[in-house]
Structure 1
Amino acid sequence: MIESNALFGNGLNIEFSENDDYKNWAILSRMIKNLAESGRYDDVFAGKISSDEMKDFLERLNEWFKNKALKGIAALKWAENEDEVSALMEMSKRYKGKDPSVLEIGLEDYLLGLKLFNASYGTDAVPSDALFQGMSYLMLDAIYNNGLIERIYTNMECYKPELLKFKNIFTLNYDSNVDVILDHPVYHLHGSFRTLHHEYRPDTFKGWAILQTGKALPQYISGKEYLYSDAVLGFSGRDKWDKICKYNDTYDNPLSQVFLKAHPELEAPKYPVEEFKTIKGHLHLIGVCPNNDSHIFKMINDNINISKVLYYTACDEDAEQVQKVIRKPIQILNVFKYWDHIRGKKA
């Protein structure tokens, strides 16, 4: 019997939230609204930058993004490597002939725009790691939606029988709704709001190693652990992949293996990419966007044991794009008909 596996993206949350809360424009709108909330980020930014300053920075970023980044060539001189050049050109193609508003620009596209915009300041640029971290806090907070994202499972009971058909379930989402429905963890390829980044945890080898140097672990804010989770954000597949590999290499390198054997009490949390690389049979891609995740499609293409990909699409544009990035036998399915089937609706 052919094994069936599933990989879920944000489209799953959009379907079962029964509102627009997790669409790109809604997340960006919430991010702007959160910045306007007095004192919301005082503890997060610890007085280093105010919400008003962040809001002003975002407004200038938006203006630069539309006038420079979306035109591709105009921003090339600030790209530092081939990945940034490739991501910039792909992004400019997606918006070609369009005049997107602030809320119509992809969330992850902003991360590339942020990096290039900052680089345009030359010697006056802010350290990129600090800037990225600040933007990540804002984005993760907007996605988290005051915890409401973790309540979507209350609308998903009708989907449980379908979920049980899959041998392995992977997700690109940070929430744990599928985990709750199934009452067991699924594979979070890009991390989870429920899992602290290993540098904050003394029970991991990473945390233990920091403590051995005489340094204290970085601090996180109680009640806002989701901001300090292992959730991966990046402007391209290569960018995300580099972060995943760096994290996993903490536990995979030979020296770490020696210490882990000597300290079996320490955890070695890793992103489950090896589990994804070894699936067999059919792979269902549900709610997955074909942009900015080239690392995912590379793993699919490199896995000779995946015999077929079933891609559930909401638009012709995504259907065309996914057939360009997947080099496997592929079946395109209408995701709206799929959800109607799940809910027992008749055509």
Structure 2
Amino acid sequence: MRNTLIGNGVIIQHGGADYYNANIIRRAINNVRSGCFPSHLYPKECADFVTALAKEHNAALNGDYDRYVFTTYDKASLKDFKSRYDRKHKHSPEEIGFEDYFLLFELIHNKLGVKNPERFEHSVVLRRMFLDSVFNQGKIETINERFSDGFVKWLENNDYIFTTNYDSNLDVVTRLPVHHLHGSFNTLSEIYDPNSFRNQLKDDLLDGEEVDLNYPHLYSTCLVSYVGDLKSFSMTQSSLANIGMKKFVKGYQDSPDIRNQIDEWDESNVLVKRLKEAIRLKSERPELQHSEQYPHKELNDISGALEIIGLSPNNDGHLFTQILENENITEIVFNYFSHQEEADAKRLFGSKNISTRDVREFWLDVDNK
């Protein structure tokens, strides 16, 4: 089998500087400053918020926030964060990775003791501002017009196409199933899908919020996080919830004792009340289940060669772990941008049969076919 994993480098190759991190940050701020943004979906204060987060960047590098990290993955993320920046340099807002802003967000909210629902609401609007900038008024969805015929043919020769990108350019040109591991602008998140299992419950979990169909990408499944563990959790959450719900329902239907226990659960706790309602609802409508919107399981199904293009070996470790654990992947072809990436890829995939090549050679090869 031939398989490929595509990252943002492919978008930059064909879409240019608009999709560099610095320009994504700059565009997000400028959109707000110029009034070119949906103010009913994220407020103008988001731009000031990004500036404020950037001011804490050096403090985080210098250890001022070390005491405000509590989980193992946050500690690992902060250590990695410190390793990627020069602490002697004062970084401007556009020099900070847009996903790193979400780590700074967590650190500052931990320090200030901000809890939910305010914390969740703040993260939602920050996410929307950055996603809107990546979407770039829909221009990102037209990049496929610049793909060469050779690249399209190369894509079509793969059995599986995976991508960490949110756009649908690969889907459009190949008309093949493309597995969007981190979500897609074109897929409505289960949170906002009126037909989803969670939205069949009596409580209005969206608190009256309605989806503005002029901006569907801001309600999409796109994962934005500063750490792979959180992306991995989001990718597997629905499948785990379905497994758990299936066990609850089986017990509820098969065991009178379990049924009585669940029926007697105290509904003063909102979460317990929702779980009880969900169990009863699925007992009556067994077809209901949480939509598994992130096709991570397919990474376990592939075999043969996997070629990686447009990804750094130092990001998305949760995906590389899956790849390494799949014994049926016998060969890795890694296209690197720098010699440091090449060395890092060889070290990362050392347990596999790995070959590397300069990504510029890849583009010369496929574009001239």
- Bucket of the pairwise TM-score, normalised by the shorter protein: 0.7 to 0.9
Q: Which amino acid aligns with 1:333?
A: R
Matched residue of 1:312: which SS?
A: strand
Instruction: Describe the shift of the 1:26–1:98 C-alpha distance in structure 2 as closer, same or farther (beyond 3 A).
Output: farther
Report the equivalent of 2:165.
173
Q: Which amino acid aligns with 1:188?
A: H
1:86 alignment partner, one of 73, 76, 84: 76
Instruction: Describe the shift of the 1:22–1:98 C-alpha distance in structure 2 as closer, same or farther (beyond 3 A).
Output: farther
Q: Which amino acid aligns with 1:240?
A: K
Identity %: 28
Report the equivalent of 2:367.
343
Q: Give me the whole-angstrom Cα distance separating, in 2, the residues matched to 1:200 and 1:126.
A: 17
Report the equivalent of 1:293.
316
Q: Give me the whole-angstrom Cα distance separating, in 2, the residues matched to 1:138 and 1:333.
A: 36
Q: Which amino acid aligns with 1:243?
A: S
Q: Which amino acid aligns with 2:122?
A: L
Q: Give me the whole-angstrom Cα distance separating, in 1, the residues matched to 2:246 and 2:36.
A: 44
Report the equivalent of 2:5.
7
Instruction: Describe the shift of the 1:201–1:325 C-alpha distance in structure 2 as closer, same or farther (beyond 3 A).
Output: same
Query: Does the aligned pair in 2 maintain the 1:198–1:269 contact within 8 Å?
Result: no
Query: Which deviates further from its counterpart, 153-162 or 78-87?
Result: 153-162
Query: Which deviates further from its counterpart, 158-167 or 239-248?
Result: 239-248
Q: Give me the whole-angstrom Cα distance separating, in 2, the residues matched to 1:275 and 1:102.
A: 37
Query: Which deviates further from its counterpart, 137-146 or 282-291?
Result: 282-291
Report the equivalent of 1:31.
28
Query: Does the aligned pair in 1 maintain the 2:189–2:219 contact within 8 Å?
Result: yes
Instruction: Describe the shift of the 1:201–1:260 C-alpha distance in structure 2 as closer, same or farther (beyond 3 A).
Output: farther
1:204-219 equivalence runs, <5 A: 204=196, 206=197, 209-215=198-204, 218-219=209-210
Higher Cα radius of gyration: 2
Query: Does the aligned pair in 2 maintain the 1:62–1:102 contact within 8 Å?
Result: yes
Query: Does the aligned pair in 2 maintain the 1:248–1:271 contact within 8 Å?
Result: no
Mark the runs of 5 or more structure 2 residues left unpaired by the alignment. Answer: 251-281
Report the equivalent of 2:101.
110
Q: Is residue 122 of structure 2 the alignment partner of residue 131 of structure 1?
A: yes
Q: C-alpha offsets along residues 147-204 of structure 1, whole Å, 9 cap, x if unaligned?
A: 0000011111421110111110000000000000011331000010000001221333
TM-score, structure 2 as length reference: 0.83
1:56 alignment partner, one of 33, 48, 59: 48
Query: Does the aligned pair in 2 maintain the 1:191–1:231 contact within 8 Å?
Result: yes
TM-score, structure 1 as length reference: 0.88
Instruction: Describe the shift of the 1:212–1:305 C-alpha distance in structure 2 as closer, same or farther (beyond 3 A).
Output: same
Query: Aligned pair count?
Result: 332
Q: Which amino acid aligns with 1:89?
A: K
Q: Give me the whole-angstrom Cα distance separating, in 1, the residues matched to 2:285 and 2:238.
A: 21
Q: C-alpha offsets along residues 7-50 of structure 1, whole Å, 9 cap, x if unaligned?
A: 00000101111x211111111111111121327232103xxxx4
1:1-347 equivalence runs, <5 A: 3-17=1-15, 19-38=16-35, 40-45=37-42, 50-51=43-44, 53-65=45-57, 67-71=58-62, 73-96=63-86, 99=89, 100-122=91-113, 127-158=118-149, 159-204=151-196, 206=197, 209-215=198-204, 218-255=209-246, 259=282, 262=285, 264=287, 268-326=291-349, 327-344=351-368
Q: Give me the whole-angstrom Cα distance separating, in 2, the residues matched to 1:101 and 1:329.
A: 41
Query: Which deviates further from its counterpart, 281-290 or 188-197?
Result: 281-290
